[in-house]
């Protein structure tokens, strides 16, 4: 999957690279897995971030938690703009790496208890 309009996100915490195994195909680990290295700086689709959101928006916005697919639940704690006033970077904090909590964040479905969704992110790909 490619990110067509990238927006950089940076993990605020003291964060070191993490290798995670993800399925080669959406939910089928039987067909193989690959390793993704999650780094302090990653990318999401620009359309997955807004400064203000309503209940129909499932992406990242200030103060909201979302799950980065296969990795963790993060919360937006700030953002940076360039000279033109466009958002150039989003600052996030990892709030949970608990696998059971991540499973409650289903695709793009809205969960009133957790108010989270899953976003795909661009990590460096290693291996197959």
Q: Given pLDDT bands bounded at 50, 70 and 90, which one contains residue 51?
A: very high
Winning range, highest mean pLDDT, from 10-24, 40-54, 96-110: 40-54
Does the residue 14 lie in any domain?
yes
In a domain, 1, yes or no: no
CATH number at residue 26: 2.40.240.10
- How many structural domains comprise the chain? 1
Domain coverage including residue 49: 6-126
50 is a domain residue: yes
* 118 falls within a domain: yes
Which one is predicted more confidently, 98 or 47?
A: 47
Query: Are 48 and 10 spatial neighbours (Cβ–Cβ below 8 Å)?
Result: no
Does residue 58 form part of some domain?
yes
Taking 80 as the threshold, does the pLDDT of residue 4 lie above it?
yes
Does residue 51 lie within any of the structural domains?
Answer: yes
Model pTM score = 0.72
Residue 44 lies in a domain: yes
Quote the pLDDT of residue 14.
81
Render pLDDT for 106-123 as a digit per residue (tens, 0 to 9). Answer: 333 333 333 334 555 554
Q: In what order do the strands lie in the sheet with 18-25?
A: 18-25, 28-38, 124-126
């Amino acid at each position: 999957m490619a990110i067509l309009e990238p927006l950089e996100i940076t993990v605020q915490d003291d964060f070191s690279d993490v290798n995670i195994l993800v399925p080669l195909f959406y939910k089928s680990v039987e067909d193989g897995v690959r390793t993704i290295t999650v780094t302090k700086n990653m990318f999401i689709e620009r359309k997955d971030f807004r400064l203000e959101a309503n209940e129909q928006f499932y992406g990242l916005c200030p103060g909201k938690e979302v799950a980065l697919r296969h990795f963790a639940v993060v919360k937006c704690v700030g953002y940076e703009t360039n000279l033109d006033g466009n958002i150039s970077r989003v600052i996030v904090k990892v709030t949970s790496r608990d696998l059971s909590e991540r499973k409650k964040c289903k695709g793009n479905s809205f969960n009133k208890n957790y108010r989270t969704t899953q976003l795909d992110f661009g990590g460096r790909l290693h291996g197959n």
